[in-house]
Amino acid sequence: MNDTQLLNNGYPMPKVGFGVYKITDEDMPKVIQQAIETGYRAFDTAYFYGNEASLGQ
């Protein structure tokens, strides 16, 4: 099974992403590192979550 979807612009997008809702700024680095090591390459966030800045670090 293909784990990406080819977008109209030619770039592949992972079919499964990791949501970061309710992950605290303190926990974010450890959680994201574990998610990357597990194989996640797409991360779902929103301004409303209030943790975009810590995800970007």
Return the pLDDT at 45: 93
Return the pLDDT at 2: 83
Return the pLDDT at 30: 98
Give the C-alpha separation, 28 to 34, whole Å: 10
The model's pTM is: 0.82
pLDDT in tens, the chain (57 residues): 689 999 999 999 999 999 999 999 999 999 999 999 999 999 999 999 999 999 988
Q: What is the pairing mode between strands 18-19 and 43-44?
A: parallel
Return the pLDDT at 1: 66
Total structural domains in the chain?
A: 1
Reduce the secondary structure of the chain to three states and give it as a string.
CCCEEECCCCCEEECCCEECCCCCCCCHHHHHHHHHHHCCCCEECCHHHCCHHHHHC
What is the extent of the structural domain holding 39?
A: 4-56
- Residue 49 known to be catalytic: yes
